[in-house]
Amino acid sequence: MNRYRTHTCNELREKNVGNNIILSGWINKKRDHGNLLFIDLRDNYGVTQCIIDQENSKFSQLEKIQLETVIKIQGTVLKRSNETINKDIETGEIEVSIKSFEILGTCKELPMPVFSDQEYAEEIRLKYRYLDLRRKKIHENIILRSRVISFIREEMSKLGFLEFQTPILTSSSPEGARDFLVPSRLNPGKFYALPQAPQQFKQLIMVSGFDKYFQIAPCFRDEDARADRSPGEFYQLDLEMSFVEQEDIFNVVEKLLVNTFKKFSNKKLISEKFPKISYLDALLKYGTDKPDLRNPLIINDITNIFTRDDVKFEIFKKLVKSGSKVRCIVAKNTKDKPRSFFDNIDKWAKDQGASGLAYFTIDKDVTAKGPVGKFFSKEALTEIMKITDAGVGDSIFFACGKKEYVEKITSLARDKIANDLNLIDESLFAFCWIVDYPMFEKNEDTKKIEFSHNPFSMPQGELDKIDFEKPLEIFAYQYDIVCNGVELSSGAIRNHIPELMYKLFSIAGYNKQDVDNRFSGMINALSYGAPPHGGIAPGIDRIVMLLANEKNIREVTMFPMNQNAQDLMMNAPSNVDEKQLKELSLSLKLKK
RNA sequence: GGGGGUGUAGCUCAGUUGGUUAGAGCGAUCGCCUGUCACGCGAUAGGUCGAGGGUUCGAGUCCCUUCACUCCCGCCA
């Protein structure tokens, strides 16, 4: 028998009545009736009500004790009378009559209550994270995270994947996000970088002949935070397979995610086979490459309508002539919505930095009601209704501008309108694949051709038939998984052919020398017999966030940093001694 | 780097058009209470109203500057 406990705080039941037991835990709550004191004792597993009265010599001592003090209780299990059973806790049929107790850990006055459903400012939650983590909801989120990761490990092992660790101190990668750098003492003036992902290593693992690899891999990117993006570090289920085509990866990951989401959530999956949407289609229909498919609204292009003579909307017509696009969203059955519904959306659009959203409602006899309705002839309206599948009683919102601008504002408007009309079913998970990413894109500022995603991806099509003169028309075997509008992972079939790699990099402006310098490990390896291979890397934090039904990634992260990438509990980052800097051959030159 | 929101007691918040001594609940301290499970009742302590400057007879409230937190844009192969 352990000196601290015979049972956990969620173990005692009616069958234990009469037992002498020992419990240890935190004082969750006290209810002091003067001559009778109830103490809810809490541990990781649950809560047990303990009771003591003034007959006991320890009574007055226990009456004074602070909440969240850690104590050990010795006592006997009593059956509660019918009226006093608490159905809300699993140990609610019994209580423990305290015979003696011992303080194991004292507690100062709390900076924030633990037993409370209130929301607290994140500043205080992060500073006292160990107190915050005692609270039920986040405590359970973190346990969920652990279970999800264990489950994924088991599934991956069953599928024949081997788990390997890859280096944390590695070299800076020239593409992508900003690196975290670590100065090297033994190599003055040189720096390691923390890996943004084990991208090159996992490919090298394939070249080394291991066939199927996975890792719950820490990834480090020095970019600004968002609600679904921790600053600094996050975790991916990194995986890679040899001798596979795109479909092989899809089959493995689809099955894994379906099993995981079915096991850990009661929400329904819209489809266990994830629909595939091409990148270009996604941008047209949803305005984004991470569409929320729970949202039934679809964006349509009606640019051509504004070249008709019987459309008099001159501002848009002029913009269209100079290359702008017009895209629209149909909101069904909104004829009777109050004016405020429309004004509200227009105001919202202006808050987003747009010039506003034009709209009209289609009334009977195909007439357009609304501020800009008068600019459209009956024939033009009929054409719009044909393109957009709109009917009488529906409203059409539309925006005009350069392609990227229209995509962005219609994408946001699609979310906004669906939310306002309550069209999103929160009890669903809607997965999809986004496929067929362009290999290159043109940087509109520099007019240069750049890799649009991962430079190591395999271009699509027969290799001897690819037209390298038209780089913007080359697509890659590159794919993302999106769930409920959250980008969960991206992956690719890799380019394992060195000559092809040089060719593609040359299009993006890197000569052979550049490639050899920057990716020496990779490019060398590929020239000694590399298998065709590919992989993907689902984000663990975001998966758990969806499963826990949280909107913020910090709710499923044990010790997150704040938005300014500071750890308020550990005081990181911090100053270092002059001696440490000197050892690293560094001196500081701070901006004022 | 830019835009929005927030900042009042240890915690969560209220505070009217600028007007007396800035309030409530929880927590803390003290007292009362033997069946509560958000126990109840009474009392006490606790405030640089984020900071600085300005307007005014008078500022938590209006103006300017600044800081912190947060959400978003940029950024995130």
Minimum CA–C1' distance nucleotide for A225: B76
Closest CA to A547 of A74, A94, A136, A145: A145
> Looking at residue A577, what is its pLDDT?
93
> Looking at residue A539, what is its pLDDT?
96
> Looking at residue A452, what is its pLDDT?
86
**Phi, psi angle pair for A493, to nearest 5°:** -80, 130
Per-residue flag: A178 CB under 7 A of strand B: yes
pLDDT 10s per residue in chain A (592 long)? 689 999 999 999 999 999 999 999 999 999 999 999 999 999 999 999 999 999 999 999 999 999 999 999 999 999 999 999 999 999 999 999 999 999 999 999 899 999 988 889 999 999 999 999 999 999 999 999 999 999 999 999 999 999 999 999 998 876 789 999 999 999 999 999 999 999 999 999 999 999 999 999 999 999 999 999 998 899 999 999 999 999 999 999 999 999 999 999 999 999 999 999 999 999 999 999 999 999 999 999 999 999 999 999 998 999 999 888 999 999 999 988 888 888 888 878 877 767 778 899 999 888 898 888 999 999 999 999 999 999 999 999 989 988 888 898 899 899 989 988 999 999 999 999 999 999 998 877 777 888 888 889 999 998 888 989 999 999 999 999 999 999 999 999 999 999 999 999 999 888 999 888 888 888 899 999 999 999 999 999 999 999 999 999 999 999 999 999 999 999 999 999 999 999 999 998 876 5
Token pair in block for residue A354: 């747009």
**Å: A109 CA to B45 C1':** 15
pLDDT in tens, A478-509: 999 999 999 999 999 999 999 999 999 999 88
Minimum CA–C1' distance nucleotide for A81: B35
> Looking at residue A591, what is its pLDDT?
67
pTM of the model: 0.94
Instruction: List CB contacts of A203: < 8 A, sequence separation 6 or more.
Output: A240, A456, A494, A496, A522, A525, A530, A533
Closest CA to A200 of A439, A589, A535, A470: A535
Residue with tokens 């991208």: A199
Whole-angstrom distance, CA of residue A479 vs CA of residue A482: 10
Residue with tokens 């009956």: A378
User: Cβ of A431: how many Cβ atoms within 10 Å?
Assistant: 21
Element (H, E) at A105: strand A94-105
Token pair in block for residue A307: 């070249």
Closest CA to A556 of A546, A569, A571: A546
> Looking at residue A592, what is its pLDDT?
56
**Å: A226 CA to B71 C1':** 8
| ipTM value | 0.92
A509: left (phi over 0), alpha (psi -120 to 50) or beta: left
CA Rg value for chain A = 30
Q: Are strands A428-429 and A268-269 parallel, antiparallel or unpaired?
A: parallel
Q: Are strands A367-369 and A36-43 parallel, antiparallel or unpaired?
A: unpaired
- % of chain A at pLDDT higher than 90: 79
**Å: A51 CA to B37 C1':** 12
Token pair in block for residue A284: 């047209």
Closest CA to A193 of A165, A158, A225, A222: A222
Query: Cα separations (Å) of A29 from A40, A94, A116?
Result: 5, 17, 10
Q: Compute the CA torsion angle A116, A122, A127, A131 (nearest 10 deg).
A: 20
> Looking at residue A173, what is its pLDDT?
76
> Looking at residue A72, what is its pLDDT?
96
Locate the DSSP E strands across A164-293.
Answer: 181-183, 191-193, 212-221, 232-242, 268-269, 276-278
Whole-angstrom distance, CA of residue A330 vs CA of residue A343: 16
Token pair in block for residue A342: 């429309």
Q: Residues 481-520, chain A: which have Cβ under 7 A from strand B?
A: 490
**Å: A413 CA to B19 C1':** 47
Q: Compute the CA torsion angle A45, A46, A49, A50 (nearest 10 deg).
A: 20
> Looking at residue A340, what is its pLDDT?
82
Closest residue to B68 by CA to C1' distance? A123
Q: Residues 79-98, chain A: which have Cβ under 7 A from strand B?
A: 80-81, 83-86, 88-89, 92, 95
> Looking at residue A519, what is its pLDDT?
83
DSSP β-bridge partners for residue A47 = A42
Instruction: List CB contacts of A564: < 8 A, sequence separation 6 or more.
Output: A231
Sheet holding A395-401, edge to edge: A299-301, A325-331, A395-401, A358-363, A367-369
Minimum CA–C1' distance nucleotide for A49: B37
Instruction: List CB contacts of A188: < 8 A, sequence separation 6 or more.
Output: A584, A585
Per-residue flag: A28 CB under 7 A of strand B: no
Whole-angstrom distance, CA of residue A71 vs CA of residue A27: 7
> Looking at residue A172, what is its pLDDT?
83
Per-residue flag: A64 CB under 7 A of strand B: yes
Token pair in block for residue A391: 């009917």
In the three-class reduction of DSSP (H, G, I as helix; E, B as strand; rest coil), residue A104 is classed as strand
